[in-house]
A and B are shown apart, each in its own frame.
Chain A
Amino acid sequence: MELLSGGEMIARFLKDEGVEYIYGYPGGAALHIYDALHRQSDVKHVLVRHEQAATHMADGYARATGKPGAVLVTSGPGATNTVTGIATAFMDSIPMVVICGQVMSYLIGEDAFQETDMIGVSRPIVKHSFTVKHPSEIPAILKKAFYIASSGRPGPVVVDIPKDMTMPNEKYEYSYPESVSLRSYTPPAKGHSGQIKKAVDLLLAAKRPMIYAGGGVIMGGGAELLTKLAQQLEYPVTNTLMGLGGYPGTDKQFVGMLGMHGSYEANQAMHHSDLILAIGARFDDRVTNDPDKFCPSAKIIHVDIDPASISKTIRADVPIVGPVIQVLEEMMALIDDAPARSNQDAIGNWWKQINEWRQVHGGRYDTSSDKIKPQAAVEACWRATNGDAFVASDVGQHQMFTAQYYKFAKPYRWINSGGLGTMGFGLPAAMGVKMNFPEETVVCVTGEGSIQMNIQELSTCLQYGLPVKILCLNNGYLGMVRQWQDMNYEGRHSNSYLDSLPEFKTLMDAYRHQYVEIRTKDELDAKMEEAFAMKDQLVFINCYVDPEEHVYPMQVPRGSMRDMFLSKTERT
């Protein structure tokens, strides 16, 4: 067997695990590892400008591929700077392994230079974490870390490695562990057949069914199967914010996103349904509105890989714990074998009702205004990219407008921080995607607030040649904050106005990127096309949109699913 130092083992393990890129930033406690990375060429290190961006890059990669992203940082501030990125991945169940340097093991606890108890700091936001206590443990621990991160309900795993575990002159036998055994961790492999049968019986008898599909369908690789099942049953489908693209957004059976900023028809249909098939979704508070008023006449089938997601906020009538693919396959087989269905008339009436609801709001917005509406900008972006781009988003109004108006046709294309709502996520996430899909169009939809939270990464884009397109819906305000202040604080805009914005044109010049400005409605499409035509360059599209615009529909706080504001003057 080969003898390797701890640092070399890390580099070699990453190669053997099939990791192509690791995103990070060097520092004292990680220098042995960095030296080992320098002496090989299989694993490529991407140097960000702030460790938070490294986690978002790895996260973007993971969301676009379903595979775990890898991050390498030093101890202390290097590690703590990853916290927001780890929490972002944790909330959205994204597989990620974060390797943190740590001070020498004999210094731990002595408040040594750049010492932080990273295991303690990250405990509530990781799926699991490890501390390396002997260099020879490194391959097994890293294998466990990648396995835990990517199996079951995925999530981030932190591996803390004291500097003396990576000493160049201390070599140990290395072999790549092909398998993992963890006596206390066995992800569910199969849903209960009796429960699946019960679910299918309910599905086939339903009169007003809804399929409510979340991010778990995408990360579980079940988008295609779910689409097949929905189309065979001809039942309406709604996606959560995390689930967009899991069902084709342009299909006639798709009723839009549900929840706080969900479509009128999705929220009405949920409220009136008699059966909900919830799959890979977790009844988040931004979906259910008041849980006590949630869908009063619906029976609920809940399929999830995580038993703790089931009956957490909304009681499930038929809980099914298992991988989405296996459960859907078993459901499909039962549906195929089922005798002729008796609910055809009811389903016909249900669709009639849903189509009536579709007419009520229908995603309308004021198209007569002189100002550019943010919705129109997103639609123009959809046209310019043929609806087929990877779209990473920051957080705020622009995120909701993108979710509503960019009709995602495929899974793995919509990259957004749904659970944590991390401003600053968009640009580095887009970079992580672009790095791994160099031929694809990758857009970061952002606002002038969010983009400034990780704007230093424009430098990383230059260094690695990452020609992402940044669509900045510039309204001069923290739009979502402003919207809430308009609605709940009598329009007192406390600290939501962004004074002293940088000259983005000058900034792009400084970073040697391209700049396109859109000020009027009539130039929207032409300028958008001009920007996307610059395939090999990063283009910052500064699109001045109406600062007065609000995101609608918007659920009325503490109401039921169907209680919504439909515009500034209308509500249900």
Chain B
Amino acid sequence: MRHIISVLMENEPGALSRVVGLFSQRNFNIETLNVAPTDDPTLSRLTLTTFGSDQVVEQITKQLNKLIDVVKLVDLTEGQHIERELMLVKVRASGAQRAEVKRTVDIFRGNIIDMTPSIYTVQIVGESDKLDGFLQALGGMHILEVVRTGVSGIARGEKTLSL
């Protein structure tokens, strides 16, 4: 099953390599990963998605918790949560295709954020499924480049992951 693990950790050099190293060292997989400092500059927030059985994910969270740099973590998929991913897509858009791309972007509530006479650059935000869906919808088009941020997430309601 897919899990989104959100980690609050010390904003120190080397902290990220410990987290990433743990995954290769212990044969866990990382599907997506993103990390940035929080409003408290001493802390970073790292979000990763991984696939594994309950037993494997339990080990992942326990092993992550053991890292001295990790302050707190939560498996967002254990409760109600919101997840978002941002994607930038550069797609060939000329002739008849130009209107078709525009329509598809509108349907997926994306934005065209840059253009040339033959290219649209599209920004689209949502759950990973929606991003996959958009790429599928563009199936017939000539996609030049895709950039995805990986999943970010936060728990619904009053639950927070903070100090």
Contact = CB atoms under 8 A, between A and B. Distances in A.
Contacts of A124: 21, 25
B68 A148 contact: yes
Interface in B37-84: 55, 58-59, 62-63, 65-66, 68-72
B160 interface: no
Contacts of A315: 55
B99 to A, nearest CB: 52
Contact of B68 (A182, A308, A311, A312): A182
Contact of B14 (A119, A306, A312): A119
Nearest to A125: B25
A311 B54 CA distance: 11
Contacts of B9: 184
B69 A311 contact: no
Contacts of B25: 124
A183 B71 contact: yes
A185 interface: yes
A182 B9 CA distance: 12
B163 interface: yes
Interface string A315-327: 1000000000000
Contact of A120 (B10, B17, B68): B17
A123 B25 CA distance: 10
B68 A127 contact: yes
Quick one: which of B10, B55, B62, B66 has the most chain A CB within 10 A?
Answer: B66
Given A308-B59, A308-B62, A311-B55, A184 B70 contact: yes
B18 interface: yes
B16 to A, nearest CB: 11
Contacts of B70: 184
B18 A184 contact: no
Given A131-B13, A308-B59, 8 more contacts: A123-B21, A127-B68, A148-B68, A182-B68, A184-B9, A184-B71, A307-B62, A307-B65
Contact of B58 (A123, A148, A184, A311): A311
A184 B68 contact: yes
A128 interface: yes
A184 B73 CA distance: 11
Given A123-B17, A124-B21, A311-B55, A306 B10 contact: no
Interchain residue pairs A-B with the least CB separation, the first 7? A308-B62, A184-B71, A128-B68, A124-B25, A185-B68, A123-B21, A307-B62
Contacts of A131: 13-14
Interface string A124-160: 1001110100000000000000001000000000000
A355 to B, nearest CB: 38
Interface residues of B, number: 21
Interface of B: 9-10, 13-14, 17-18, 21, 25, 55, 58-59, 62-63, 65-66, 68-72, 163
B55 to A, nearest CB: 7
Contacts of A148: 68
B162 to A, nearest CB: 12
Nearest to A153: B66
Contacts of B66: 306, 308
B45 to A, nearest CB: 14
Contacts of B71: 183-184
Interface string A500-521: 0000000000000000000000
Interface in A297-355: 306-308, 311-312, 315
Contacts of B68: 127-128, 148, 182, 184-185
A74 to B, nearest CB: 21
26 contacts: A119-B14, A120-B17, A123-B17, A123-B18, A123-B21, A124-B21, A127-B68, A128-B68, A131-B13, A131-B14, A148-B68, A182-B68, A183-B163, A184-B9, A184-B10, A184-B69, A184-B70, A184-B71, A184-B72, A185-B68, A308-B59, A308-B62, A308-B65, A311-B55, A311-B58, A312-B59
A185 B65 CA distance: 9
Contacts of B17: 120, 123
B149 to A, nearest CB: 26
A312 B58 CA distance: 9
Contacts of B21: 123-124
A185 B71 CA distance: 7
Contacts of B63: 308
Nearest to A183: B71
Nearest to B10: A184
Contacts of A311: 55, 58
A182 B14 CA distance: 17
A530 B53 CA distance: 60
A312 B57 CA distance: 11
A46 to B, nearest CB: 29
A524 B56 CA distance: 52
A307 B60 CA distance: 12
Contacts of A127: 68
Interface in A268-312: 306-308, 311-312
Contacts of A182: 68
A521 B17 CA distance: 57
A183 B66 CA distance: 13
Nearest to A130: B14
B143 to A, nearest CB: 37
A185 B10 CA distance: 11
A451 B66 CA distance: 36
